[in-house]
Structure 1
Amino acid sequence: MELRTKIVKSAELKNIIIKRLYFDKALSCAELSEILDKSIPSVSKAVNELIEEGFVIEQGYAPSSGGRRPLMYALLPTAMYIVTVAMDQLSTRIQMVDLLNNPVADIALNELKLFANPHALSTLIDYINHYIAATGIPKDKIAGIGIGMPGFIDAAEGINYTYLDSAGQSLTQLITAQTGVPAYIENDSSLIALAEQKFGTAKSHKDVMVINLGWGIGLGMIINGEIYRGHNGFAGEFSHIPLSEDGALCTCGKRGCLEAEASMLVVAEKAIKGIKKGHISSLKHTDKDQSKLVGNAIMEAANNGDQFAIELLSDAGYKIGKALAILIHIMNPESIVLSGRGAIVGKILLAPMQQALNKYCIPRLVSSTELLISELGFNAELIGTAVLVMENFDKENKNHSITTKQETMEKNNKI
């Protein structure tokens, strides 16, 4: 029993080291010892075992700081892989990445409408299974499946109360059971904030509001360096901030919500109507069923100087800025990061957003809040899903748990 306890503790320590190296890229044993509050001998032993097991490699010596240079260690990128799944209301992206978040297989883009689609969950699972099989990567080499999705999500229970009806069952348990790989779900905007915090624009900031500009308008909140999810995990429903009493009807059943006034789908609908009325533009699509194509085309056209597209985005940007004024008064953030699909037109949106902030915000508050554009952009959600998997890496016994030589011997009844 004592030996078994030591083996479990050793595996737990190695999982924690793998997790730390994923986020910090390269660390010395002394740094790992300090971060993990473990003795240097125990950390060194675990690192050496991880090297033998093919998870960790020597990265060379740290730059000289006057004393003896410590040897640095990093993860072998191909030791494990992560399936990243980024969903929006209309489509799903799936990609396999290594432990440096580098793609190891082509991204799969699948049409998958979530609204009023009773088959969405089974279709999603089919897509994931097909993608994993197509990569040829064994499932025991996959650390997990991270899934970002819109909706009211209880990540702890694994339930999406808006989409992917699972009859009250845990989505994470269902997907894990039907794929054979540990699965985790989270709200897409929270994952985008997580990606920005760990690897993006918000990395050095403690109080940040990350705006997910997609077909809807989401919000991920970083407060005092931690992702804030609220009491039930539903914090950040920025898209349903009311802008007017008699505005457009929102999908939530209320009028005047930000999403009903300024989301990319609304901008696309306005573009379609405008083109039909004769607005001069390089935009060609006029079919309402092509809203997604129109939305992408608007952003491309705006960046190419199309006046009509710029006007549409500027109007949306001003309304988003008006809603941000409410957010700034409540949260007083250090910075606001524009991320997600719409980050590609961030420079066009910034001016009208700032104009709205100047009009609706108390100067002392707005002057201390910086507007930033994400460098991760549309990839932020995919990166966030990988982060989600690795954040849970050391929290439970998974299929990919490290198997030590002692465990192997124990299984073979040799000890």
Structure 2
Amino acid sequence: MFLKNIDLIKGLYYSKAASLNDLSIYTGRSVPYVTKGIADLIKSDIVKEVGIRASSGGRKPATYSLIAETGFIISVAMNQFLTRIVIVNMSNEFVGEVQEFELKLNDNKDAIHSLIACIQAVVVNSGLPKDKFLAIGITMPGFIDAFLGNNLSFLKSPEETLVTYINKQAGLPVFIENDSTAIALAEQKFGLPIARNNSMIINLGWGVGLGMIINKEIFKGHSGFAGEFSHLPLHKNGKLCSCGKQGCLETEASLLAIEAKAIEGLRQGEVSSLVKYDTLSADDIITEALKGDAFAIKIISEAAYFIGQGLAILLHLMNPESIILSGKGSVIGKLWLSPIQQAMNEHCIPHLTTYTQLAVSNLGNNAQLLGGVTTVIENLYKLSPQASISEPA
């Protein structure tokens, strides 16, 4: 399956429907190359013609798309506390519901075995033939060595590399990526148009992650660990960060920090609808903030201001076209924007803020799941030694 024409398959996956000329532009290949490649994919029952596009003059071009049921990808989106898994077809559509599993990464020696059991359960319960699954895309926090296939922070493999071990146990190819980098990929391919070229993608979650798109490419740095935005040492608060240092941005601006501040505020007698929750979570705080609870909004606004201070540093260093707020916490939406913009205005040279757009992602809580899918699509060539046909003369 998908033994050749990977460049055309990628172009069709990201566009959903495209003409021969569209694919020629996307791949940088000649129209004859694209025409032959699409014909081969149609014969292999991977691609179908889906319609005729309107034209202002001349022959109306046919459009093509991938056949949804030719293959399926398992996307696994992990954070420190929860794992979400969904099956996605070749039309980038979720097949069935997103499955959620409580799976703590910290101090959990059985985490990798639990993860494999969750993946296997999703595959079996789907009722889909095993040979229809292309690969598993796993996105998670931590220092990810995607080349070697290891997470240097979590999910220690009992033998070999993490990717090799899961591959053996699950019986499917596996690709892993840092959650923030994967979210940046998803935003570039499926998100707002302003995320395409030069953009800083902020992953608002239990940490404050960063994925960087520079000159239309994901930037991961020399060792693949670029984007540790959470650990900018911005505060002299004496608070211990998950990295072992003190005063990181994460200690004041993450969802964990928001949770801690809310619990402490209620203990000190703050008036808030949050008192009705027996065990307060970040999701509860988000829910009440969206309903207008003043205390919940205040805590989120304070965190947003600190994020804006961190972004001011990025603006001076990178001068991005856009900053996109994504990840789990982005569902708060516009509540982030004003305090972040205020901090950026206070701490940035005006010329930098004038030409950088700040926006909330339109992908919501699905950004990381889509990042897992995109991680697989970007690595399709590794599943197929014969990646493409030769260009015709």
Q: Normalization by structure 1: what TM-score?
A: 0.88
2:302 touches 2:339 (CA, 8 Å); kept in 1? yes
Inter-partner Cα distance in structure 1 for 2:347 and 2:29: 51
Inter-partner Cα distance in structure 1 for 2:221 and 2:166: 25
- Of 147, 153, 157, which aligns to 2:148? 157
1:276 touches 1:286 (CA, 8 Å); kept in 2? no
Shift of 1:251: 1.4
Report SS of the residue matched to 1:395. Answer: helix
- Of 304, 310, 330, which aligns to 2:291? 304
Shift of 1:42: 5.1
Report SS of the residue matched to 2:189. Answer: helix
The residue aligned with 2:245 is 254
The residue aligned with 1:385 is 372
The residue aligned with 1:49 is 40
The residue aligned with 1:174 is 165
Inter-partner Cα distance in structure 1 for 2:271 and 2:365: 29
Greater alpha carbon shift after TM alignment, 187-196 vs 158-167 = 158-167
Report SS of the residue matched to 1:97. Answer: strand
The residue aligned with 1:242 is 233
1:247 touches 1:261 (CA, 8 Å); kept in 2? no
Alignment-mate amino acid for residue 198 of structure 1: K
The residue aligned with 2:381 is 394
The 1:361/1:31 distance shift into structure 2, 3 A limit, reads closer
Greater alpha carbon shift after TM alignment, 212-221 vs 350-359 = 350-359
Shift of 1:247: 3.4
The residue aligned with 1:338 is 325
Inter-partner Cα distance in structure 2 for 1:129 and 1:68: 49
The 1:232/1:22 distance shift into structure 2, 3 A limit, reads same
1:275 touches 1:286 (CA, 8 Å); kept in 2? no
Alignment-mate amino acid for residue 373 of structure 1: V
The residue aligned with 1:376 is 363
| C-alpha distance after superposition, 1:100-159 (max 9, x if no partner) | 221112111000110111111111111101111110111211121111100000111111
Tell me whether 1:314 sits opposite 2:311 in the alignment.
Answer: no
Mapping for residues 124-139 of structure 1, pairs under 5 Å: 124-139=115-130
The residue aligned with 1:12 is 4
Shift of 1:31: 4.0
| C-alpha distance after superposition, 1:266-303 (max 9, x if no partner) | 1111111211222111113676xx4xx52001111111
Mapping for residues 202-281 of structure 1, pairs under 5 Å: 202=193, 205-281=196-272
2:189 touches 2:196 (CA, 8 Å); kept in 1? no
2:83 touches 2:103 (CA, 8 Å); kept in 1? yes
Shift of 1:397: 2.6
- Of 170, 173, 187, which aligns to 1:196? 187
Identity %: 49
Report SS of the residue matched to 1:148. Answer: strand
Q: Normalization by structure 2: what TM-score?
A: 0.93
The 1:375/1:34 distance shift into structure 2, 3 A limit, reads closer
The residue aligned with 2:391 is none
The residue aligned with 1:328 is 315
The residue aligned with 2:113 is 122
Shift of 1:51: 2.2
2:137 touches 2:176 (CA, 8 Å); kept in 1? yes
Shift of 1:167: 5.2
The residue aligned with 2:390 is none
2:13 touches 2:92 (CA, 8 Å); kept in 1? no
| C-alpha distance after superposition, 1:384-404 (max 9, x if no partner) | 111111111123338xx99xx
Report SS of the residue matched to 2:138. Answer: strand
Report SS of the residue matched to 1:105. Answer: strand
Higher alpha-carbon Rg: 1
Inter-partner Cα distance in structure 1 for 2:324 and 2:309: 16
Alignment-mate amino acid for residue 67 of structure 2: L
1:272 touches 1:286 (CA, 8 Å); kept in 2? no
Shift of 1:203: 5.4
| C-alpha distance after superposition, 1:22-76 (max 9, x if no partner) | 1122223344345445555554344233223321111111211311112211111
Report SS of the residue matched to 1:230. Answer: coil
Inter-partner Cα distance in structure 2 for 1:340 and 1:154: 21
The residue aligned with 1:106 is 97
- 4+ residue runs of structure 1 moved beyond 6 angstroms? none
Inter-partner Cα distance in structure 2 for 1:32 and 1:65: 20
The residue aligned with 2:348 is 361
Inter-partner Cα distance in structure 2 for 1:109 and 1:195: 20
Shift of 1:317: 0.7
Inter-partner Cα distance in structure 1 for 2:264 and 2:313: 30
Aligned length: 387
Unaligned runs of 5+ in 2: 388-393
Mapping for residues 30-109 of structure 1, pairs under 5 Å: 30-33=21-24, 35-36=26-27, 38=29, 40-41=31-32, 43-109=34-100
Report SS of the residue matched to 2:94. Answer: coil
The 1:35/1:374 distance shift into structure 2, 3 A limit, reads closer
Greater alpha carbon shift after TM alignment, 245-254 vs 348-357 = 245-254
The 1:53/1:205 distance shift into structure 2, 3 A limit, reads closer
Mapping for residues 15-30 of structure 1, pairs under 5 Å: 15-30=6-21
Report SS of the residue matched to 2:275. Answer: coil
The 1:346/1:30 distance shift into structure 2, 3 A limit, reads closer
Inter-partner Cα distance in structure 2 for 1:244 and 1:273: 19
Greater alpha carbon shift after TM alignment, 238-247 vs 199-208 = 199-208
Alignment-mate amino acid for residue 295 of structure 1: A
Shift of 1:354: 1.3
